[in-house]
A = this chain, B = another copy of it.
Amino acid sequence: MTAVDDRRTAGHASMLAASRLLLSSQLEAADRDALTRACDDVRMVPAGTDMVPPRSPVDALHVLLEGWAARYKVIEYGGRYLPALLVPGDICDIDAIAFGRLEYGITALTECAVVSLPRSRAVALSQSHPNIGAAVRWLAFAENSILTEWATAMGRRSVHGRLAHLLCELLVRLKAVGRAEGNSFELPLTEEHLADALGSTVIQINRTLRLLCSNGLVAREGQRLAILNWSALCTFGGFRPDYLYFEDIHEQSGDDALWIKKSFH
């Protein structure tokens, strides 16, 4: 995990720059400083560990700097479901700003580096800095939109479609935080993780992944996933990136934002 260690020693200030929250164009320098200063030190979370147990009181928000995590819910006799996959830059439990208790848990799917932002400080900041308040609100609604899309996918798409859709979404989201090169990215998730995120089973995911490969839509090499035929994969999964509202984010992305737009117009 040398990459992780590098990030760690570099301090979290530079890392935070790529977080969803700080990407918001509504923030000014003072807002960013205040946010960065409010964060605690970087903490490492081993893979498979609960960062936040479900239904417990939360005293801090967690910003993911490195690694993959997920929100999860456990249904009695229904197994596990992952209503959100979290990548570097995401705030794992942003709703803790409004609620002192969360209905889901957060688990580290790989080894993770996170910084904590004490809840009281987060609440205070979003009150005292109107821009931060607005940015949080924006993020809340953006998550809302993603959740709506996921629920729709669960309700009205086949497992094949859902997997294709998810891979498309991941590429766009990873590009936005500089974690994709061209049309490929590291996907360190097991098929079980994907199954839990898509409401399916390992077997089904295995076969679907294999199908996408054999049809030349994607290719896998180790943990790296490359999308070979972007437009075909989008069509197959019914993916349109509008629901991510990434056009509202100007900084950082630049060329990539342009690339996404071009693919659809």
A residues lining the B interface (CB < 8 Å): 55, 71, 73, 75-76, 78-81, 83-84, 94-95, 97-99, 103-104, 126-127, 130, 133-134, 136-138, 140-145, 147-152, 154-157, 161, 198-199, 238, 242-243, 245, 248
Contact = CB atoms under 8 A, between A and B. Distances in A.
Contacts of A83: 148, 151-152
The 4 closest A-B pairs by CB, nearest first: A155-B199, A154-B154, A147-B147, A140-B140
Nearest to A96: B141
B97 A152 contact: no
Contacts of A151: 81, 83, 147, 150-151, 154
A141 B99 contact: yes
A140 B133 CA distance: 13
B148 A73 contact: yes
**DSSP majority for the A interface?**
helix
> A80, A81, A198, A242: which has the most chain B beta carbons within 10 Å?
A81
A243 B156 contact: no
Nearest to A79: B156
B145 A103 contact: yes
Copies in the complex: 2
Nearest to A71: B148
A84 B149 CA distance: 12
A98 B127 CA distance: 17
A86 to B, nearest CB: 13
Contacts of A95: 141, 144-145
A127 B36 CA distance: 23
B144 A140 contact: yes
B198 A155 contact: yes
B99 A152 contact: no
Contacts of A84: 148
A154 B162 CA distance: 13
14 contacts: A78-B157, A79-B156, A81-B156, A83-B148, A83-B152, A97-B141, A98-B137, A98-B138, A98-B140, A99-B145, A103-B148, A103-B149, A133-B133, A151-B151
Contacts of A199: 154-156
Nearest to A103: B243
A233 B193 CA distance: 31
Given A99-B141, A144-B143, A75 B152 contact: yes
